[in-house]
Amino acid sequence: MFEGFETGQASLRGTSIAYVRAGHGAPVLLLHGFPQTHAMWADIAPQLVAAGRQVICADLRGYGDSGKPQGMAAYSFREMGADMAALMQHLGFARFDLVGHDRGGRTAHRMALDHPEAVASLTVMDIVPTQTILDALTTPVARAYYHWLFLAQPAPFPETMIGHDPDAYFESCLLGWGAAQLSDFGPAQLQAYRHAWRNPQAIAAMCNDYRAAIDVDLALDRADLDRQVHCPALVLYGAQGAMAQAYDVAATWAPRLADMRAAGITGGHFFPDQSPGETATALLEFFASNDRRAGS
């Protein structure tokens, strides 16, 4: 995976952030989601590099090879986003394109609110706003996304249950949320995910991620309901995924993104794994459109 990419580890804000980078040109930061690591971008990042972008793929705190601080509050999207803003500053990038899938998308949205000067464009993948999910939870969404409430239960209940067979639990997550099978995920990526999620500290961190969404992030998002992200924004979603079945995904984002485009991509929640070429094409067309607008 990531042939030709530099591997790095940055000590930032009291923890460490693992990343890979390659390429030249305008920088783009790619953020993974649950229960994956930066390995999810292994089939997409090289396409962006080949098209002239400098690409950084990082592990969120608690995930993969990044540090795993103690405590629920350490895992809010604000904290995760501050890590990534610090990482890009550490790497010498004052402004960059930002792409996030799942938890990475929620982190990216928070970054665009908290660090607007740094975010040249925002892409969120297969999510609706956190506040929308939690304040207007419907029966179909609760059934499909039960893990939001399971993982948020007090420690050590979910950690103990998952710890008995991490592969069985997390692979059930990969196969959920619409139109996925294990063969959709490359063998090297699966190996990286299994290595990461078998770590008890990573299991605890992922639970804290979901606890923080309810106990920290929901209040932050409610407070920011009247704020918009003003940079160019792209909303991508799995055309066969649970979110597209339960919501008009674009409509949930329209009040929050002042300059928004949206499109469905073939697949379910994990459409970047299922359709990496289509996903990369959508990103590159979005970046190119922004470049043309900036130059006009």
Catalytic residues: 102, 269
> 28 vs 46, 132, 240, 261, 275, CA distance in Å?
12, 27, 27, 18, 20
Asked if 158 contacts 207 with a C-beta cutoff of 8 angstroms, the reply is yes
CB within 8 Å of 147: residues ≥ 6 apart = 173, 210
Cβ within 8 Å of residue 200, ≥6 positions away: 159, 163
Which residue bears the tokens 């697949």?
267
249-252: which pairs have CB atoms within 8 A and are 24 or more residues apart?
Answer: 249/126, 249/128, 252/128, 252/129, 252/132
Distance CA 171, CA 35 (A): 9
